[in-house]
Chain A
Amino acid sequence: MRPAIRRRPFLPLFVTPAVLVAAAIVAAMAAILRYSLHAYVPGSLDVGGFTLENFADLTRPIVLRALRDTVLICFETALITLVVGYPVAYALVRTRSVLLKSVILVTAVTPLFLGEVVRTYAWTVVLGNTGFVNAMLRQVGLIERPIQFMFTELGVIVALVHVTLPVMVIMLAAALAHIDRDYERAAQSLGAGPVRAFLTVTLPLSMPGVVAGFTTAFAWTFSAFATPQVIGGGKVGVVSTLVYQLGLSSFNFPVAASLSLAGLVLALGTMWAVRRAARPFEAMGGH
Chain B
Amino acid sequence: MLSKAVDLSPPANLPGTAPSPRPAPAVRLDGVVKRFGTVTALEETWLQVEQGEFLTLLGPSGCGKTTLLNLMAGFLEADAGEIFIGGDLVTATPPYERQIGIVFQNYALFPHMSVAKNVGYGLRMRGVGKREIAERVGQALDLVKLSGLADRSPRQLSGGQQQRVALARALVIRPKVLLLDEPFSALDKNLRGAMQVELKEIQRRLGVTTVFVTHDQGEALSMSDRIVVMSAGRIRQIGTPDQVYRHPQDRFVAGFIGDVNRLPARLEACAGERATVTIRDLRREVEAGALRDCAPGAAVDVFVRPDHLTLRPAGEPGTLPARVAALVYQGSHIDLHADLDLSATEGASAGGRVVVRMPGQGALATHAPGTEIGLLVPQAGLVAFPPEG
Contact = CB atoms under 8 A, between A and B. Distances in A.
12 contacts: A180-B108, A182-B106, A183-B110, A185-B73, A186-B102, A186-B110, A189-B170, A193-B94, A193-B96, A196-B125, A201-B110, A205-B111
Given A205-B112, A287-B111, A190 B125 contact: yes
B308 to A, nearest CB: 42
A283 B101 CA distance: 28
A286 B125 contact: no
Grouping DSSP codes into helix (H, G, I), strand (E, B) and loop, the A interface class, with mixed when no group exceeds half, is helix
B173 interface: yes
Contacts of B226: none
A192 B112 contact: no
Contacts of B94: 188, 193
A281 B96 CA distance: 26
Interface string A107-142: 000000000000000000000000000000000000
Find the residue from B96, B98, B122 having the highest chain A CB count within 10 A. Answer: B96
Nearest to B73: A189
Interface string B81-103: 00000000000001111111110
A125 B359 CA distance: 87
Contacts of A146: none
Size bracket of the B interface: 20 to 34
Interface of B: 73-75, 94-102, 104-106, 108-112, 121-122, 125-126, 153, 155, 169-170, 173, 179
A200 B117 CA distance: 11
Nearest to B103: A186
A194 to B, nearest CB: 8
A183 B75 CA distance: 13
A188 B112 contact: no
B121 A185 contact: no
Contact of A191 (B73, B105, B173): B173
Contacts of A200: 121
Contacts of A182: 104-106, 108
A187 to B, nearest CB: 7
Contacts of A188: 74-75, 94-96
Given A196-B125, A286-B155, A189 B106 contact: no
A191 B104 contact: no
A192 B125 CA distance: 6
A233 interface: no
Given A191-B173, A192-B96, A192-B125, A186 B111 contact: no
Contacts of B75: 185, 188
B381 to A, nearest CB: 43
Contacts of A180: 106, 108
Contacts of A284: 112
A189 B73 CA distance: 7
A194 B125 CA distance: 12
Contacts of B122: 190-191
Contacts of B101: 189-190
Contacts of A283: 112
B177 to A, nearest CB: 11
A247 interface: no
A285 B110 CA distance: 10
Contacts of A194: 96
A183 to B, nearest CB: 5
A185 B126 contact: no
A285 B112 contact: yes
Interface string A131-163: 000000000000000000000000000000000
Contact of A185 (B98, B108, B170): B108
Contacts of B74: 188
Given A185-B75, A191-B97, A287-B111, 13 more contacts: A180-B108, A186-B169, A187-B125, A188-B75, A188-B94, A189-B98, A190-B170, A190-B173, A191-B122, A192-B96, A200-B121, A201-B110, A205-B110
B298 to A, nearest CB: 48
A188 B111 CA distance: 16
Nearest to A205: B112
Interface string A171-182: 000000000101
What 3 A-B pairs come out closest when comparing CB atoms? A190-B122, A286-B111, A182-B108
A286 B153 contact: yes
A191 B98 CA distance: 8
A186 B104 contact: yes
Find the residue from B122, B169, B173 having the highest chain A CB count within 10 A. Answer: B122
A180 B110 CA distance: 10
A197 B105 CA distance: 20
Contact of B108 (A186, A196, A204, A286): A186
Interface string A79-104: 00000000000000000000000000
Contacts of B109: 186
Find the residue from A180, A185, A189 having the highest chain B CB count within 10 A. Answer: A189
A197 B121 CA distance: 11
A187 B98 CA distance: 13
A285 B97 CA distance: 27
Contacts of A186: 102, 104, 108-110, 169
A194 B74 CA distance: 13
A190 B100 CA distance: 7
Contacts of B170: 189-190
Contacts of B111: 205, 285-287
A156 to B, nearest CB: 37
